[in-house]
Amino acid sequence: MSIAAGSETGGVMRVRVDVASDVPSLPWDDVHGPARAVVYGLLGEQNPTLAQSLHDEGWGGQPLKPVGLTAPVFRGGRRRKGVYTASSDGSIWFGSPVPEIVSVLVAALADRTEIQWGSVRLRVRGFAMDGGQGAEDGHAELSTVTPTVVKKDSRYLLPWDAGYEERLLHNLAHKADVLGLSAPSGLRVLEAGPSRRFSVRGAPRTGAQVRVAIESDARFVTALRSWGLGLDNMQGFGWIR
């Protein structure tokens, strides 16, 4: 099934939810761990059939789920080493390049006064829809705000590892195939942050924020900004700035 990004939502494919935490910090297991359950909970409230189908079958006859989001990101709290600081000024981004999916997410989020994120209650302070930046065919640069997860076989790769660019490009080609769009023809890592390791339901996820240059058509770049780079986008990894 091919898509026309934004064709049914007026270009709105990303949603920012401003939240306030009721605790000064998040347990590390609750940073990325609850993300997948939150997404399915939101989808299931509005369209249980869609949520079940996405969970069981993926999209477009393939197991990939074209949904992205961030873990909660907070501003203004006092940073402490080894602590994921929360505050009354935070946000979570949600998105999908598939209009059918994003419209359900928008409807579910618009009615929310709070989001239960694992063990933490996040009060919803505001809600904004964003069509994202415009894109042009050819060269594009994309930066992630959450770690990008890339694997080869059972090994996590980091941006400075051999084979990283090849595996990330392979992931992008797979996403393009799911969406019925042209795959990018090239990718190069321009910049990378430090390695970050999180636990997701007891299993490790290792990645790093990256800035990459890709050679791609504009429709696929637009789609990626509502989905993300790398693996585990539904767990809050690889969200694009």
**What does the pLDDT average to over 109-127?**
94
CATH class of 14-130: alpha beta
Angstrom distance (rounded) from CA 32 to CA 70: 8
Fold of domain 138-235:
Alpha-Beta Plaits (3.30.70)
> Domain-by-domain residue ranges, the chain?
14-130, 138-235
Whether 10 has a pLDDT exceeding 50, the answer reads no
Helix (H, G, I), strand (E, B) or coil at 157: strand
At a CB cut-off of 8 Å and minimum separation 6, what does 15 contact? 93, 94, 95, 102, 105, 106, 109, 127, 128, 129, 130
What's the pLDDT tens digit per position in 134-188? Answer: 566 678 899 999 999 999 998 999 999 999 999 999 999 999 999 999 999 999 9
Angstrom distance (rounded) from CA 41 to CA 16: 17
**Predicted local distance difference test score (pLDDT) of residue 129:** 87
- Burial class of residue 60, CB neighbours in 10 A (0-12, 13-18, 19+): middle
Whether 211 has a pLDDT exceeding 80, the answer reads yes
End-to-end CA distance of the chain: 27
**What does the pLDDT average to over 81-95?**
94
**Predicted local distance difference test score (pLDDT) of residue 81:** 81
- Candidate from 18-32, 75-89, 93-107, 180-194 with smallest mean pLDDT: 75-89
Average pLDDT, the chain: 90
Whether 79 has a pLDDT exceeding 90, the answer reads no
Tokens (6 digits) for 40: 């399915």
Whether 217 has a pLDDT exceeding 80, the answer reads yes
| Residue 187, number of CB atoms within 10 A of its CB | 21
Domains 14-130 and 138-235 share a fold: yes
**What does the pLDDT average to over 119-135?**
83
pLDDT band (50, 70, 90) for residue 131: low
**What does the pLDDT average to over 22-33?**
94
